[in-house]
Structure 1
Amino acid sequence: MSAPLLQVNDLKKYFPVRGPLFSRKASWVYAVDGVSFEIGRGETLSLVGESGCGKSTVGRAILRLFDITAGQVVLDGQRIDDLSADRLRPIRRRVQVVFQDPFSSLNPRLRVRDILAEPIRNFGLARSSAELDAKVAALMDTVRLPRDVLNRRPHEFSGGQRQRICIARALAAEPDLIVCDEAVSALDVSVKAQIVNLLSDLQREFGLALLFISHDLAIVEHMTHRVAVMYLGKIVEMASRHQIFAAPRHPYTKALLSAVPVPDPAARRKPMILKGDVPSPINPPSGCRFHTRCPFVFDRCRTEVPELRQIVEGQWAACHLDELPEAPAAG
């Protein structure tokens, strides 16, 4: 088996919280607290969970948009989380990003031609002006936009077209991995499908690896290979797409799936309603972080942190229920 393209080992990111005036007590937001996973070449791993669970922080940590608190990020065998700015520069070409809001992530002053040319110039990927122009034109073809709009600015495009420009900009650097941070959540339903199909086509064409960060499980089911489910800074379940959607093991995963709308209005199923609210990441619960909302909670959950361990081949879960003689059946 070939080595993974990306390895994230026990990643932690804590943000300081300013306390009351004259207070000496330090507080922290435990945004990501010990996350580990791998992404293979040409693979899509989807990171899912409720808003505020830390999934976007994981993506930004991989991109080195800030320094991490602890852990390792390894790209193609090379640790990148501790690299200086100069040594990190050539690595940035290999890991690109598509953000949630295509309008705010594009410079409104630049024409599309200049937006796409910028990464090509930055990383020295064209030897002449003619080659640069050819690459820019080819990128427009790749994301299925007409070449005659290259002189327009971002405000002259629809949301879906702007997101195609963002994808083209990411492709311009010829990356190995693209982090898609809620890349379709700001788009209309029909446009979402077009962008997801485009990403799938590009992955097959260029052999791209994708970290697809989303809370939309219907989209995730359509395009991913594996799924990692996050809750309050930790991964609680990780498995293949089929295993997650057909036989989830963690109660939180089951609750997420029960909330996904089904196309058949006559279909009957019992939704799993979670009690209470998501606890504060400043003061997370002891033991299992999900125990304050779990319908199956018992004493051990309140005191002992469950380890993410393999339950069946290819499926990992962090739940004490799986160690009981008769764990609740997947539903």
Structure 2
Amino acid sequence: MRRPAAPGAEPAPTGTPILAVRDLRKHFPLRGGWLGGSRGVVHAVDGVSFSIARGETLSLVGESGCGKSTVGKAVLRLFDLTDGQVLLDGQRIDTMPAATLRPLRRRMQVVFQDPFSSLNPRMRVRDALAEPIRNFGLAPTREALDRRLFELMDTVRLPRDALNRWPHEFSGGQRQRIGIARALAAEPDLLICDEAVSALDVSVKAQIVNLLGDLQARLGLALLFISHDLAVVEHMTHRVAVMYLGQIVELAPRRAIFASPRHPYTEALLSAVPVPQPGAARQRIILRGDVPSPINPPAGCRFHTRCPYAFDRCRVEVPVLAPTDPGHLAACHLHDRPAAENPLRPAQIHANGSQLT
């Protein structure tokens, strides 16, 4: 897989970010029993904030069930928020009435994980791609519609005669290309990729990742790339946000995350990524215990029940996502301790052999 044009470099900010999420919360009530009463609340997303610049890729990573996909669906307004704000190009959309929001939906589109179930099996490719173009009035004539359909097929590198075929006639990778073409049909500014390559074979996965990178460079798209595959994320992102149990615990440029993680959970995730060189040394970190229930998350730091470095403060006080280095945020009490007591900041060795903290 090719890396982005400027690997590890965040696009220079140009005014208002295309997407800003502020203290996003989504709680799902549990209902059951004879009278259908509430049996508690699932804290799926609990205070998430980030922004995405135009032309930037922000990857949202973490274990299954950490709330990544819920964030994507909340941004798309597929359900109402419990609290927080979502701003598209500076305009708040989380409280916007459906009729007012509808024209703005064109600017943010989604590519789903399963390319087969996300396509209507009763619609030919032509009809599936033409639907958003017609809905948003982007092609005033039949000739303009045909030209746009041909452009979309060329863009995702599929033959034009595939427009007349059915979804079941394509391979998984081809169907995902059709899904990308359908998302591009609305001419969006922001593309949300929800595990968009996790269901594909390795070679096909690389092709789709390269395609997304090329499309971003050509069209200036912003990407919210939701994934649990850190090997893919390392190749295509500008910044990484690491989620654990509904909260972002670390947010930094790609190079900083992969070279020097500042949160124990990120450190453990990276230790599980297969190394490219057989036999290369890597210390695998095995987390003890299971992920706590989002119905009753632990007090203090939510990771303290599995953290190898946890101390008393972690069990009672919630850490704040704060800068540890320029552009690098982490929510960990270890960074308030002296460097010599912080295992996430290994001591540096001076040229004369003395130790630096």
For Structure 1 versus Structure 2, the TM-score category normalised by the shorter chain is: over 0.9
Q: Secondary structure at the match of 1:33?
A: strand
Between the aligned partners of 2:231 and 2:294, the Cα distance in structure 1 is 27
1:196 corresponds to which of 192, 209, 214: 209
- Report the AA paired with residue 268 of structure 1: A
Question: What residue number does 2:149 align with?
Answer: 136
Question: What residue number does 1:4 align with?
Answer: 17
Aligned: 1:328 with 2:343: yes
Between the aligned partners of 1:304 and 1:54, the Cα distance in structure 2 is 22
TM-score where L is the length of structure 1: 0.98
| Mapped contact 2:319–2:333 kept (Cα < 8 A) | yes
Question: What residue number does 1:310 align with?
Answer: 323
* Offset at residue 149 of structure 1 (A): 1.2
- Show CA shifts across 1:210-267 (max 9, x none): 0000000000000000000000000000000000000100000000000000111210
* Offset at residue 25 of structure 1 (A): 5.4
Question: What residue number does 1:64 align with?
Answer: 77
Between the aligned partners of 1:304 and 1:149, the Cα distance in structure 2 is 57
TM-score where L is the length of structure 2: 0.91
Q: 1:135 and 1:61, CA in 2 relative to 1: closer, same or farther beyond 3 A? A: same
Between the aligned partners of 1:184 and 1:330, the Cα distance in structure 2 is 34
- Report the AA paired with residue 63 of structure 1: L
- Report the AA paired with residue 221 of structure 2: L
2:241 corresponds to which of 225, 228, 246: 228
Between the aligned partners of 1:266 and 1:21, the Cα distance in structure 2 is 58
| Mapped contact 1:248–1:330 kept (Cα < 8 A) | no
* Offset at residue 23 of structure 1 (A): 7.9
Aligned: 1:16 with 2:29: yes
- Superposition map of 1:178-193 within 5 A: 178-193=191-206
Q: 1:129 and 1:22, CA in 2 relative to 1: closer, same or farther beyond 3 A? A: closer
Q: Secondary structure at the match of 2:180?
A: helix
2:52 corresponds to which of 39, 57, 63: 39
| Mapped contact 1:254–1:330 kept (Cα < 8 A) | no
* Offset at residue 269 of structure 1 (A): 1.4
Aligned: 1:168 with 2:181: yes
Question: What residue number does 2:40 align with?
Answer: 27
- Superposition map of 1:108-147 within 5 A: 108-147=121-160
- Superposition map of 1:204-215 within 5 A: 204-215=217-228
Question: What residue number does 1:275 align with?
Answer: 288
* Offset at residue 329 of structure 1 (A): 3.4
Question: What residue number does 2:355 align with?
Answer: none
- Show CA shifts across 1:168-211 (max 9, x none): 00000000000000000000000000000000000000000000
* Offset at residue 18 of structure 1 (A): 1.3
| Mapped contact 2:44–2:246 kept (Cα < 8 A) | yes
Most deviating of 54-63 and 12-21: 12-21
Q: 1:205 and 1:25, CA in 2 relative to 1: closer, same or farther beyond 3 A? A: closer
- Superposition map of 1:230-245 within 5 A: 230-245=243-258
Q: 1:140 and 1:323, CA in 2 relative to 1: closer, same or farther beyond 3 A? A: same
- Structure 2 residues not aligned, in runs of 5+: 1-12, 347-357
- Show CA shifts across 1:5-39 (max 9, x none): 11000000000101443585541000000000000
- Report the AA paired with residue 48 of structure 1: V
- Superposition map of 1:241-256 within 5 A: 241-256=254-269
Q: Secondary structure at the match of 2:164?
A: coil
- Show CA shifts across 1:300-320 (max 9, x none): 000000000011100000000
- Structure 1 residues not aligned, in runs of 5+: none
- Report the AA paired with residue 98 of structure 1: V
| Mapped contact 1:288–1:305 kept (Cα < 8 A) | yes
Most deviating of 18-27 and 141-150: 18-27
Q: Secondary structure at the match of 2:183?
A: helix
Identity in percent: 73
- Report the AA paired with residue 152 of structure 1: R
Q: 1:309 and 1:151, CA in 2 relative to 1: closer, same or farther beyond 3 A? A: same
Question: What residue number does 2:112 align with?
Answer: 99
Question: What residue number does 1:263 align with?
Answer: 276
Most deviating of 256-265 and 21-30: 21-30
Between the aligned partners of 1:272 and 1:12, the Cα distance in structure 2 is 30
1:154 corresponds to which of 167, 170, 191: 167
Between the aligned partners of 2:199 and 2:99, the Cα distance in structure 1 is 34
| Mapped contact 2:30–2:38 kept (Cα < 8 A) | no
Aligned residues: 331
- Show CA shifts across 1:89-132 (max 9, x none): 01100000000000000000000000110000000000100000
Q: Secondary structure at the match of 1:180?
A: strand
CA RMSD of aligned residues (A): 1.1
